[in-house]
Amino acid sequence: DEEHSAAELQRRACLFLGAVADGDAALASLVVREGGLAAVLEAVEWYRFHEDVGNWALWAVFVLCFDHAENQVELIRAGGIAKICRVMGDIPQSLGVQRHGIAILFDLMREVPKGGCGGVCERRRGFNDPVTIRLAALNANMHEVVRLAMVTHSKSVEIMMMGRQMLVATGFEGEIPHYDGALVKKGRT
């Protein structure tokens, strides 16, 4: 079927772009500069109901942007926060989509410690400072998307911890879901 083939091509392209840049900031910068981030965001927008494309597209965005201020600027400029929140809202049952989306949002909204920013503070000033990023996330329905991810995947430590911190830091006024799994695996005795 033609639609399935097109979605599979997009999934593989996202996987490839993320894999090329994984662990290499210089390659991540090159991929973004050459339009790779824009292509991934187009794929996630066009195939926002396709779980495999959404999962690998958000993984690629995470790889390209994690702890990388310049690439984060490009993500924000491209409307990436809204696109991430939209695909998270469209595929709430996917643990992969939710984990990658939460991780991207968490990385974008975290505060950089004073005196220990390694130049990131200066590069992120302007339209994409933490307050502006948080406002963009709130305007993209981040509270509801994160809350839904936490309710749907309440046994995921990562989703619950990052989600809770984001909701608290952005003034969420509802009931914050609680972790529903075991913190320590029970072993044999």
- pLDDT interval class at 22 (50, 70, 90): very high
Could you please report the per-residue DSSP string of 73-90? HHHHHTTHHHHHHHHHHH
Residue carrying the six token digits 């981030």:
37
Cα(163)–Cα(99) distance, integer angstroms? 10
What's the pTM? 0.88
Mean pLDDT value across residues 166-186: 85
126-156 pLDDT, tens per residue? 555 778 888 899 999 999 999 999 999 999 9
Answer yes or no: is pLDDT of 165 > 60: yes
pLDDT value for 185: 61
> What does the alpha-carbon distance between residue 141 and residue 167 come to, in Å, rounded to a whole number?
12
d(CA 9, CA 30): 22
The listed range with the strongest mean pLDDT (24-33, 67-76, 129-138) is: 24-33
Inter-CA distances, 4 with 59, 71, 163, 168, 176, Å: 20, 30, 32, 40, 37
DSSP state of 140: T
For residue 30, what pLDDT is reported? 97
Model pLDDT for residues 85-110, shown as the tens digit of each residue: 999 999 999 999 999 999 999 999 88
Contact residues for 4 (Cβ-Cβ < 8 A; gap 6+)? none
Asked if 67 and 107 count as a contact pair (C-beta separation under 8 A), the reply is: yes
